[in-house]
Amino acid sequence: MELNGSKHFISNVRARRSHHRAGFDRRGCAAQVQADDLHCRRGNPGLNIQRKFRRWAGTVTRSRHSRWTTAFVPDSHVLGEPGEGFKTIMATINNDRVYVSSKCLGMAQELMDLVTPWVKERETFGQQLGQHQAIQFYLADCDVELNAARLLTRQAAALGDAGHPDFRIAASRAKLFSSEMLGRVADRVLQIFGGAGYMTDLPVERIYRDARAFRIGEGTSEMQRLQIARHLLAA
Ligand SMILES: Cc1cc2nc3c(=O)[nH]c(=O)nc-3n(C[C@H](O)[C@H](O)[C@H](O)COP(=O)(O)OP(=O)(O)OC[C@H]3O[C@@H](n4cnc5c(N)ncnc54)[C@H](O)[C@@H]3O)c2cc1C
């Protein structure tokens, strides 16, 4: 088969080092494309990594623009059945959404682990920061939301393991809530740290920036809301 098209913002593409890439054409075909077939072997221009983007955060990986121009893919590298590509990618994306939720939980937990000792150590106006009611309210909201996100993520993972048809919608719920929860937790924790939270000595500002991408990748928050609303309306 041949692949044609282009895709913005592909993470982790190291043009000369990666061995496999997946592409999906408009007809819903899926193909596993080996870099050896397309890129490393000179004279086959099928896959062209066109542009590198500079990111605001998450700079451990890179984002690039890929273009497929009549890229030949041997039958042995076609994933699943031709015409079933959309289903294949959606099955993968549900797993990815639970994975993103889990990453959000880990990052929010790290923020909580940083802030809890800080509010006991730092003193303002003659008492520990954690004794101010406004700060206690921030902490309580973070704790409740983190635990709620954990339960949604575990529920989605359990439904996925069981092959349950509600997995798709549970994964959307978990991804939506966890990614937005992380944004709120990071914002509150940075506020509790005050100026220290804004400085690069602590990982708080980095987590605050990294958190933002999770509301965009693997389906934006708006797309998760659309999925959930359609599920409700179809019932
Ligand atoms: C750090 C990072 C890494 C990424 N890595 C990858 C990757 O590895 N692979 C990959 O395939 N993609 C990757 N992406 C791309 C990502 O999946 C897309 O950016 C995302 O799906 C949104 O698409 P878009 O940027 O084209 O926004 P658009 O489609 O232009 O949408 C813009 C905004 O409008 C909203 N919107 C659009 N349509 C509607 C609607 N009907 N109703 C309501 N709101 C709507 C969207 O939710 C969004 O907020 C990455 C993005 C980022 C930021």
Domain closes at, from 71, 87, 103: 87
* 47 and 12 both lie in a single domain: yes
Residue 3 CB coordination number (10 Å)? 21
* 178 and 192 both lie in a single domain: yes
Question: Any idea what the Cα angle at residue 116 is, between residues 112 and 121, rounded to 5°?
Answer: 150
Mean pLDDT of 103-130: 98
Active site residue 110: no
* 230 and 118 both lie in a single domain: yes
Asked if the model's pLDDT at residue 139 lies above 90, the reply is yes
* 163 and 226 both lie in a single domain: yes
- Alpha helices per DSSP H over 11-161: 35, 85-121, 133-161
* 141 and 205 both lie in a single domain: yes
* 99 and 80 both lie in a single domain: no
CB-ligand 1 contact for 9 (6 Å cutoff): yes
* 217 and 120 both lie in a single domain: yes
Instruction: Give the pLDDT score at 39.
Output: 44
Best residue for ligand 1 mutational test, from 18, 222, 230 (most atoms within 8 Å of Cβ): 222
Asked if the model's pLDDT at residue 15 lies above 70, the reply is no
Mean pLDDT of the chain: 85
* 212 within 8 A of 190, measured Cβ to Cβ: no
* 54 and 169 both lie in a single domain: no
Q: Whose CA is nearest to atom 31 of ligand 1?
A: 220
* 57 and 101 both lie in a single domain: no
Q: What is the CATH number of the domain that holds 105?
A: 1.20.140.10
Asked if the model's pLDDT at residue 26 lies above 80, the reply is no
Q: What is the CATH number of the domain that holds 50?
A: 2.40.110.10
CB-ligand 1 contact for 58 (6 Å cutoff): yes
Residue 130 DSSP symbol: G
Domain closes at, from 87, 119, 147: 87
Q: Which residues are 206's β-sheet partners? A: none
Best residue for ligand 1 mutational test, from 9, 100, 103, 225 (most atoms within 8 Å of Cβ): 9
CA of 9 to the centre of ligand 1 (A): 9
Domain closes at, from 87, 121, 140: 87
Domains of the chain: total: 2
CA distance 59 to 5: 26
Q: pLDDT tens across 41-95, in order? A: 444 466 676 677 888 887 767 777 777 677 777 777 777 776 677 777 777 899 9
Catalytic residue among 145, 180, 205, 218: 218
* 4 within 8 A of 70, measured Cβ to Cβ: yes
Instruction: Give the pLDDT score at 44.
Output: 45
CA distance 148 to 104: 12
* 41 and 116 both lie in a single domain: no
Q: pLDDT tens across 28-42, in order? A: 555 555 544 444 444
* 190 and 104 both lie in a single domain: yes
Domain residues for 39? 2-87
